[in-house]
Amino acid sequence: GAVVSQHPSWVICKSGTSVKIECRSLDFQATTMFWYRQFPKQSLMLMATSNEGSKATYEQGVEKDKFLINHASLTLSTLTVTSAHPEDSSFYICSARLRTGVGQPQHFGDGTRLSIL
Amino acid sequence: DAKTTQPTSMDCAEGRAANLPCNHSTISGNEYVYWYRQIHSQGPQYIIHGLKNNETNEMASLIITEDRKSSTLILPHATLRDTAVYYCIVRVSPRRNRDDKIIFGKGTRLHILP
């Protein structure tokens, strides 16, 4: 079945640094990928929709200059958390779906646990 | 997309069938019902989806009522590994709507008891 891979699985870094998270669709092409954030004991919250070859669409309240998204190819989207601070510590998850086919589901990566010290 | 309502939590004995209900009374004709689950510290896992007919795959069965206002996910022989949060989501087929983002509710926390 369709596989979405995220890298890294977890990262710890100092406050003020920037962190890049990669999301790859391994066996299919994805025109659209999605980025979510999840805090402990809460549900997933959609941050932005990443479209190949165009600008990402951000949800209300998500700072586009803080969370930079690049979707340069049909198999790769990246999320960069710029100048990260402790409040950015969270579980970040991406998803993607096949380009064609009626009713195709989204497939999710295993997430990246980000801890900012 | 139509809203869904699910119980907050459920328990099920290991080896028994787990039946997870979902209400989606405002569903429209072109909206599919999708089920995902999230095991602790992992990304959500797709389980099954359907439009109006009942569906079955290697993981589960999906029963959709005739009026499509509710559905039930059935895990036929629950194991401890099925302990997770289960999300019922209703959305338009992405072929008709490019903006097919998923908005997650709180889901049902299913505990499989040994």
Token pair recorded at residue A58: 């951000």
Nearest to A3, CA basis, from A56, A75, A70, A55: A75
pLDDT digits (tens, 9 = 90+) for B43-82: 999 999 999 999 999 999 999 999 999 999 999 999 999 9
Q: In which residue ranges of chain A is pLDDT below 50? A: none
B107–A113 C-beta distance less than 8 A: no
Nearest CA in chain B to A30: B98
* All residues at 6 or more sequence positions from B5 whose CB lies less than 8 Å from its CB, including other chains: B22, B23, B24
Mean confidence (pLDDT) of chain A:
91
B98–chain A nearest CA distance, Å: 8
* All residues at 6 or more sequence positions from B94 whose CB lies less than 8 Å from its CB, including other chains: A97, A103, A104, B100
> Which of the residues B58, B101, B108 would you substitute to probe the A interface, choosing the one with the greatest number of A C-beta atoms within 10 Å?
B101
Token pair recorded at residue B57: 């795959």
How do strand B108-113 and strand B9-13 relate by DSSP bridges?
parallel
State what percent of residues in chain A have pLDDT above 70.
Answer: 94
The per-residue pLDDT for B80 is 96
pLDDT digits (tens, 9 = 90+) for A3-24: 899 999 999 999 999 999 999 9
pLDDT above 60 (res B96)? no
A6–B93 C-beta distance less than 8 A: no
A9–chain B nearest CA distance, Å: 10
B42–A110 C-beta distance less than 8 A: yes
The per-residue pLDDT for B95 is 55
Mean confidence (pLDDT) of chain B:
91
CA–CA distance, A48 with A116 (Å, rounded to integer)? 21
Decide if B32 touches A, using CB distance below 8 A.
yes
CB B28 within 8 A of CB B14: no
List CB contacts (< 8 A) between B93 and chain A: 102-103
B95–A100 C-beta distance less than 8 A: yes
Residues 1-30 of B with CB under 8 A from A: none
A67–chain B nearest CA distance, Å: 18
> Which of the residues A25, A43, A58, A59 would you substitute to probe the B interface, choosing the one with the greatest number of B C-beta atoms within 10 Å?
A43
Decide if B39 touches A, using CB distance below 8 A.
no
